[in-house]
Every structure is written in structure tokens, then in C-alpha cells.
């Protein structure tokens, strides 16, 4: 299997200069580069730069995907958004993590399975991850920590959290994730039942009124300080000053998430119980759908047998073979349900006599793993 690696960077707070774009071109001659974007795919070789350094120098978000079960999503956040103690709670493991720089945090969400290649990587489409995940950055700036908690749950599933450890603070709204947070669960291949189990201890989300926060802040601010802030906002073309100030206001306004009393072992057990119940319900629903389907086929049984005859009369083709196998399987389901298997086998035996020369039809059904018990002697 050939190697596949996908790199994508996005600048949110500012546009890149022409000199910066030229510097990026020296890193890759084939990458798609614009004033806000860098994207490249590698089948041989690799990116000639460290993604973390490119984030520090140029960009605000990064997605990496590959076909060997390793993927990363990193956002660059103003330091005013978090203190180290909070981040240490949510990132106890080696995969998802945080790294400091002078003015920012690099918050990394990582999935890794070192034991296997990902045979289905192409189904998800690497190109779509950045669009699905990018809003997590603005959510974090508004003080929404659900994505951090999702990273902690992924560490828990990877056994990077001790079984007897207490659960960390559960943010509000875990039972009603945003589209980006749901995409992050998919990106990290997080079992939905562990999220559902944790959500049992999550209060409903409540929006902080930003306008009210600003009013309260301005009421206590000296006039000279107000002038200084207005000047910095007007001179800041990137919007970074505004983002950092709003982040600090919202951080001060929000209450710390409540700490659950259950241990991680209890959380895992609850997830297993929910999964077992979910599988039981899914199986029950599948059986109901199958019963309904069989009743519908039984009502049309004579027409099904006539169609089987028509298909044997037709010239062989993949479409004919597929429909023939499906029709006979459906008729066998009816026979089993109505205790008419002997009559069914007799009709199949009659088909074998009448269409003995249609060996390609019978062979095609065997290649399609048609149940031998439904075609006696074939």
C-alpha cells in the first residue's frame, strides 16, 4: 500500500504577506498556497518543516491525516484563554496534548493506532476535516471547553488515564454537541457511548451574554485605559487583540465546570452498559425491520416465484445473477418463517431440473455465497 499524508494549514486572525507566502513556497514547490491557506498531499517524502513552527510563524489551525491511522488537529490559541493548570487536567496523555509558546498555546487533538493501516481513510475525505473542525477554535475562545473534555475522553479510551482516577470537571452541554465537536469525536474515533455516559453528569449549556460582560468591564475601567484599548483595537488589523480581550472577559465570567463524583472506572462501566443496551435495541429494531420485510415478501410470494422463472430465462449478467440470488434468499426467509422449508426445497429442486443447462446462473449464485442449504444438490 502506498503512503498517503495530507497537510493543511489555515490563517484565521490575519492574512499572510507576500514575503511569508514566498517563505512557504520554499518549504514546498507543489503546495497550494494563498494568503490564508497552505495545503499539500504526499505519497512519497514529507513536509520539509515542523507543523508546530509553521503554526507559530504563520497559521492558526492545522490538520494532518494519513492512511496509517495517525491524524492531528492543532489550534493556536491566545494564552489569555487558558491557564496551564486547566489544560493539564484535560490533557493527561501522550497523544492529545498542549504546548506553550511565548504568546500562545498550541492545543493538539490526536488520534493514533500504531498497530494498523486505516483501510477506510479515503471514505472520510481528508480535505473536509479542516472545514468541519475549525469552529472549535472560536468555541474555545468563547470559553466552551467541551472539545477539551472530548480529548480527555479519548485519552481515557486509550488507557492514558488511571482506572481509579476521579473524573475531571464536566463542561455543560455535553449531551448537545456542536457540529464541530461531533466532528472531533469522529476525527478521534471516539466511541459515542463514552460521550453519552459522561453527558449524564453534564448540566445544560447556558450562553454568557457578551454585551453584558463588556458593559460591566467598561464601567470599572479608567478613561485613560479605555483610550489605550480603543487605540490598540483600531491599530490591530489581525483581530488578535479583540479575540484575546473577549477570551479573557468570557473566561472571567464563566464558572468552573462541576467535578463529577464518579471515578473513571465507573464512567467506563457506564459506557459499557449503554453500549450493551444500544446494541440490544439495534438488534431488536433490525429484527422488527426483517419481520416487516418478510411479511411483505410473503404477500408477494407468487410474483416472486414467477420472477425467478423469468430470470432463469434471461441471458446471464451480473444484474440478473444478483436479483436471482436475492429473490431466492427472500423466498427462503419466508419458508423458514412459515415452516415451509420442505416445499421451498422441492421448488428449488424443480428449478434445477428445468434449468439444468443454466449452469452459469447456479455458479454465479454460489460465487455470491448463496446458502447451500437453500439450493439442494447444486
Q: pLDDT (tens digit, 9 = 90+) per residue, 170-220?
A: 888 888 999 999 999 999 999 999 999 988 877 666 555 667 777 776 777
Q: Tell me the backbone φ, ψ of residue 236, rounded to 5 degrees.
A: -90, 100
- Burial of 60: CB neighbours in 10 Å, binned 0-12, 13-18, 19+: buried
Q: Beta strand 169-170 with 37-42: parallel, antiparallel or unpaired? A: unpaired
Residue 128 DSSP one-character state: G
- CA distances from residue 283 to 194, 278, 286 in whole angstroms, order as listed: 20, 9, 5
End-to-end CA distance of the chain: 39
pLDDT in tens, 20-75: 999 999 999 899 999 999 999 988 888 999 999 999 999 999 999 998 889 999 99
CA angle 364, 344, 329 (to 5 degrees): 40
Quickly state the pLDDT bin for 371 (edges 50, 70, 90). low
pLDDT at residue number 362:
86
**Ranges of H-type helices in 58-143:** 84-90, 121-124, 129-133, 135-141
Write down the pTM of the prediction: 0.74
C-alpha torsion sign, points 88, 94, 98, 102: positive
Q: Beta strand 97-100 with 61-66: parallel, antiparallel or unpaired? A: unpaired
pLDDT at residue number 374:
47
The answer to whether 12 touches 61, Cβ cutoff 8 Å, is: yes
Which residue matches cell numbers 491524524?
71
Residue (of 15, 23, 9) closest to 73 by Cα position? 9
- For residues 150 and 180, give the distance between their C-alpha atoms in angstroms, rounded to a whole number: 12
Q: Tell me the backbone φ, ψ of residue 42, rounded to 5 degrees.
A: -125, 130
Amino acid at each position: 500500500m502506498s503512503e498517503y499524508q495530507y497537510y493543511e494549514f489555515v490563517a484565521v486572525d490575519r492574512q499572510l504577506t507576500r514575503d511569508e507566502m514566498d517563505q512557504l513556497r520554499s518549504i514546498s514547490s507543489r503546495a497550494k498556497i494563498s494568503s490564508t491557506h497552505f495545503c499539500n498531499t504526499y505519497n512519497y517524502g514529507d513536509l520539509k518543516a515542523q507543523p508546530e513552527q509553521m503554526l507559530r510563524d504563520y497559521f492558526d489551525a492545522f490538520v494532518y491525516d494519513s492512511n496509517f491511522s495517525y491524524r492531528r488537529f492543532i489550534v493556536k490559541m491566545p494564552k489569555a484563554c487558558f491557564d496551564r493548570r486547566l489544560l493539564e487536567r484535560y490533557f493527561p496523555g501522550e497523544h492529545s496534548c498542549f504546548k506553550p509558546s511565548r504568546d500562545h498555546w498550541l492545543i493538539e487533538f490526536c488520534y493514533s493506532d500504531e498497530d494498523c493501516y486505516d483501510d477506510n481513510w479515503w471514505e472520510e475525505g481528508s480535505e473536509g476535516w479542516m472545514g468541519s473542525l475549525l469552529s472549535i477554535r472560536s468555541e474555545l475562545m468563547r470559553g466552551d471547553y467541551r472539545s477539551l473534555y472530548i480529548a480527555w475522553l479519548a485519552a481515557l479510551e486509550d488507557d492514558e488515564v488511571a482506572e481509579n482516577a476521579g473524573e475531571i470537571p464536566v463542561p455543560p452541554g455535553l449531551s448537545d454537541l456542536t457540529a464541530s465537536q461531533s466532528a472531533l469525536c469522529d476525527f478521534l474515533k471516539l466511541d459515542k457511548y463514552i460521550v453519552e455516559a459522561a453527558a449524564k453528569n453534564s448540566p445544560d449549556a447556558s450562553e454568557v451574554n457578551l454585551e453584558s460582560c463588556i458593559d460591566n468591564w467598561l464601567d470599572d475601567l479608567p478613561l485613560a485605559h479605555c483610550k489605550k484599548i480603543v487605540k490598540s483595537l483600531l491599530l490591530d488589523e489581525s483581530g488578535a487583540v479583540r479575540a484575546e480581550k473577549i477570551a479573557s472577559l468570557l473566561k472571567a465570567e464563566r464558572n468552573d465546570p462541576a467535578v463529577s463524583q464518579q471515578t473513571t472506572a465507573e464512567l467506563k462501566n457506564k459506557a459499557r452498559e449503554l453500549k450493551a443496551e444500544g446494541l440490544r435495541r439495534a438488534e431488536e429494531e433490525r429484527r422488527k425491520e426483517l419481520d416487516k420485510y418478510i411479511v411483505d415478501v410473503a404477500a408477494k410470494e407468487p410474483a416472486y416465484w414467477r420472477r425467478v422463472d423469468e430470470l432463469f430465462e434471461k441471458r446471464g449478467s451480473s444484474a440478473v445473477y444478483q436479483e436471482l440470488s436475492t429473490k431466492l434468499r427472500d423466498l427462503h426467509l419466508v419458508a423458514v418463517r412459515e415452516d415451509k422449508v420442505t416445499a421451498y426445497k422441492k421448488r428449488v429442486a424443480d428449478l434445477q431440473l428445468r434449468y439444468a443447462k443454466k449452469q452459469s446462473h447456479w455458479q454465479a449464485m454460489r460465487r455470491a455465497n448463496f446458502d447451500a442449504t437453500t439450493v439442494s444438490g447444486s
